Structure 1
Amino acid sequence: MSEPPVTSPSSPRLAKSMAEVEDALLSRWPETRLEPSLDRIRAFTELLGEPQRAYRAVHLTGTNGKTSTSRMVDALLRALELRTGRFTSPHVERMNERISVDGEPLDDEAFVRAFNDIAPYTHMVDDDQPHPLSFFETVVGMAYAAFADAPVDVAVVEVGMGGSWDATNVIDADVAVVLPIAVDHAKYLGGTPEAIASEKSGIIKAGSVVVSAAQDPGVDAVLVARVAEVGATLLREGVDFGVSARNPAVGGQIVTLEGLRGRYEDVFLPLYGAHQAQNAAIALATVESLVGGSEPLDGELVAAAFADVTSPARLEIVRRSPTVILDAAHNPHGAAAAAAALEDSFTFDPLVGVLGVMADKDAEGLLVALEPVLAHVVVTQCSTDRAMRAETLAETAIDVFGEERVTVVPRLADAIEAAATLAEAGESVSASIGAGAVLVTGSVVTAGEARTLLTRNRRQPGTGARP
């Protein structure tokens, strides 16, 4: 399963700039190559003084929705005047996004400082282990140390992949969150939802509270068994908490949430789709579980926190005339949620897709999920060498959409331009001016590169290099 590392750093490598940090991190074993073990990260955090034990924690796993839910949990905790650290992956545009304190990504200076704080210890692990620390393991160590240094009251931590052997799992969270589980990363996690649930349930620790999204019966059974095994407490969406009502609104939706201890009515959530309402209910139950007590949270505080939530590249509108929407869906489950949200919240005519996927993903499943809402698809590829070639993707797209609804444009910037032209030219006679739109999706990398292209004038300085 494992492959030889790209390099084997044998001495600390301090950095003077963000570019040097990125270069040092990217020289390590990339997060796309895995050797399932906690040995290296345990050795690393021991050398760092077990920083992950210095604060309370929320740990999130699941197939989709982790980042959006993490951001909601973070917002609610900060509204309660708790200092937060948030670790999410992968990043959309810049590496800094992975580590946030008080709701904001570390700036370049702080990111360099966080790297240099842990760099003297990396070579000690490298020299002592069969494989050196990976990119992901190193960034996890950085995050945990930065949170302890801040210091934060609560860390909100998203797993990278799976659960049991994910590098983040050296933390013992007060609340373990399990978002909807479907098949993804089958090579490493298993080919059935139950097998994947078994791996992801590894974040559930003795004495913790488990907040679970509504799951398929087989997945639910796996979670119930794990909870019983370790002596945790299980709270289920649809049983202990949930979404009571939801109505699309300008800029998002209005939701009524049933929390663990109260009802929160007419909360504006500036994100689209039933899946984001579900994420909001899970985030609310998570925070209620963490803070404890018997009284509901302050309704105005909850409403204000949710109203400020953002989640870049999750059905994010980044341009008008024509409208361009970015979504990081990279598996069939995520694509189906995006498609449902588009039908629910928008009336674009036509909607033209720009699709770039990774070579190891279920491209056919993605295309099948999106086909009902897309009038046409422009297949493309992003810059990473992990990307599926546009010509290869086109073969599958033609099988799903038919040849007349598929255009091949390998360069992403040109693909977006071609899709915008189709969206504007293809408007129906009855449609209002500007009713056509473009959806850029298929992977986090595709969405991130498109976001950089389309919002370049708003970007902060930095290279934004990607593993």
Structure 2
Amino acid sequence: MGQVGQEILARAPENAIEPTLDRVARVMELMGEPQRSFPVIHVTGTNGKTTTARMIERLLRELGLNPGRYTSPHLHDLRERIVIGGEPVDEQRFLDAYDDARPFIEMADRESAEAGGPRMTFFEVLTVLAYAAFADAPVDVAVVEVGLGGVWDATNVADGQVAVITPVAVDHAHLLGDSLEQIATEKAGIIKPGAQVVAAVQEPEVMQVLLERCEEVGATAQAEGVTFGVLARDVAVGGQQVSLRGLAGDHPDLFLPLFGRHQAHNAALAVAAVEAFVGGGEQPLAADVVRDAVAAMDSPGRLEIVRRSPTVVVDAAHNPAGATVLAQAMGDSFTFHRLVGVVAVLEDKDAEGILAALEPVLDHVVITRTTSPRALRPERLGAVAAELFGDHRVTVVPDLPDALDVAAGLADEGGGVSGGVLATGSITVAAEVRTLLGRTGSAS
């Protein structure tokens, strides 16, 4: 897949968005509207989108359906983003989809250039390939995660029968706006006429925007804490024990092998979304389906233990809201006598906000960088960290592999046996630490 992968990656990156669906819609039209050949569960929000999409897909598979799943970004391999029946799209199917779509992509590129516009972006092309592969499979339903925002996101050429809204917070402010209302308005764009909307707990101003959109287009809203949610939760070995309320019934005493209160809420959101999809929210999912699906849920790169002695946990938190949830989860689910952070942040992110959220739970922080060309220089990030942590709690190590070794040594200081390392700040950190520690095979 090498040459094709390079062709796609050479296009404008996924954070380079244009406020138009014209190019993707044009390719879909030329290809016979493949995104209309299957129902869609569309997922947006600020944090938790990928995990919630994975959870929804796992429940659908437990029901005996053949789902497609489109998520972003990937940890290790481009094909992780397009999953059919629980497996990343195989190389031949990916190449076939690209061969089928290439002439139409080139036509859209030419038409855009003639109008003074850019070529299709990397994310737009990949979205086309996902919809084409899902139609070709065919899948029974596609679980589609928004790339950025909602209204103008490439995925929005499809109409979701169910729209899932994870918690909304400020992120990508330079692209989506710096107020919650602006960001919520962008994300509400995936709510289509007649859809069922399943929304996590939101700030009041966000929920107001979502409800106004539902009223405008005749969609039905289901809100966490009102019609579904988490009834009970206890920390357990290897995860947590949870009781969930779905839209049509309760599901008590489930084992969820993931850490953090937020994962219980993601699971409740997923159950509600699937109940909305298969029974219009009127028919509860079978107890054994929910029990078995929840017990099999995973989320690579999200509060994931990738090594023991010392324990190394990776998490893809990349904004202050995500870092706050991560800090809460570390305190809730782990009992380290000493916790050392390994933090690298991309230059367009709120580094100060991320570090401030992590400061209360980290005894020491090792500042570094990943191989991403967008990575913030360690010296700059280290200066920000020193303001928050104090110089004595900050070490700057320019290369991530060395930073991981330094952090492991710091975690073991004092001879304790329960030191831990938390590597976070971007999905690139999670991916590169997973690779360094040999955990590249379970990110599908």
* TM-score relative to the length of structure 1: 0.92
Cα deviation digits, residues 65-91 of structure 1 (max 9, x gap): 000000000000111111100000011
Q: For 1:314, what is the secondary structure of its paired residue?
A: coil
Determine if the alignment matches structure 1 residue 70 to structure 2 residue 53: yes
2:311–2:419 CA contact under 8 A, matched in 1: yes
| Alignment equivalent of 2:62, drawn from 68, 72, 79 | 79
| Unpaired stretches in structure 2, ≥5 consecutive residues | none
Q: Secondary structure at the match of 2:412?
A: helix
Q: Distance in 2 between matches of 1:163 and 1:426?
A: 49
Residue of structure 2 in register with 1:15 after alignment: none
4+ long deviations beyond 2 Å: 107-117
Closer, same or farther: CA 59–381 of 1 in aligned 2, 3 Å: same
Equivalent residue, structure 2, for 1:58: 41
Q: Is the 8 A contact 2:255 2:294 kept in 1?
A: yes
Residue identity in the other structure for 2:107: M
Q: Secondary structure at the match of 1:448?
A: helix
* Partner secondary structure for residue 286 of structure 1: helix
After TM superposition, list the pairs within 5 Å mapping 1:192-211 onto structure 2: 192-211=179-198
Q: One-letter code of the match for 2:307?
A: R
Where structure 1 has 5 or more consecutive residues not aligned to the other structure, the ranges are 1-17
Give the deviation of 1:451 after TM superposition.
Answer: 1.0
Question: C-alpha separation between the residues in 1 aligned to 2:195 and 2:441?
Answer: 40
> Aligned match of 2:14 in 27, 31, 47?
31
Q: Report whether the alignment pairs 1:45 with 2:28.
A: yes
Superposed counterparts of 1:268-279, under 5 Å: 268-279=255-266
Return the offset for 1:20.
Answer: 1.1
CA contact (8 A) 2:386 2:394 kept: yes
**1:111 Cα deviation from its structure 2 partner:** 2.5
Counterpart of 2:101 in structure 1 is 118
Residue-by-residue CA offset, 1:80-128 (whole Å, 9 max, x unaligned): 1111000000111111111000111123333333322322221111001
Confirm whether residue 166 of structure 1 aligns to residue 149 of structure 2: no
Q: Residue 306 in 1 paired to residue 289 in 2?
A: no
User: Which residue is 1:286 aligned to?
Assistant: 273
Task: State the one-letter code of the partner of 1:67.
Answer: T
Mapped to 2, the partners of 1:270 and 1:233 lie a distance apart of 32
Matched-pair identity in %: 56
Counterpart of 2:88? 105
1:436 maps to which of 419, 431, 437: 419
Q: CA deviation at 1:296?
A: 1.7
Measure how far apart 1:167 and its partner are: 0.4
Are 2:311 and 1:323 aligned? yes
The count of residues paired between Structure 1 and Structure 2 equals 438
Aligned to 1:364: 352
Q: Equivalents in 1 of 2:256, 2:88: separation in Å? A: 22
Could you say what secondary structure the match of 1:325 adopts?
A: strand
Contact 1:257 1:265 in 2 (8 A): yes
Contact 1:356 1:382 in 2 (8 A): yes
Q: Distance in 1 between matches of 2:354 and 2:53?
A: 24
CA displacement 1:199-247 (0-9 Å, x = unmatched): 1000000000000011111111101110010110000000000000000
Q: Which amino acid aligns with 2:421?
A: V
> Hey, what does 2:384 align to over in structure 1?
396
What's the RMSD between the two structures over aligned residues?
1.3
Aligned-pair distance for 1:320? Answer: 0.7
**In structure 2, how many angstroms separate the alpha carbons of the residues matched to 1:426 and 1:203?**
52
Structure-2 residue corresponding to 1:355: 343
Q: Which amino acid aligns with 1:96?
A: R
SS at match of 1:31: coil
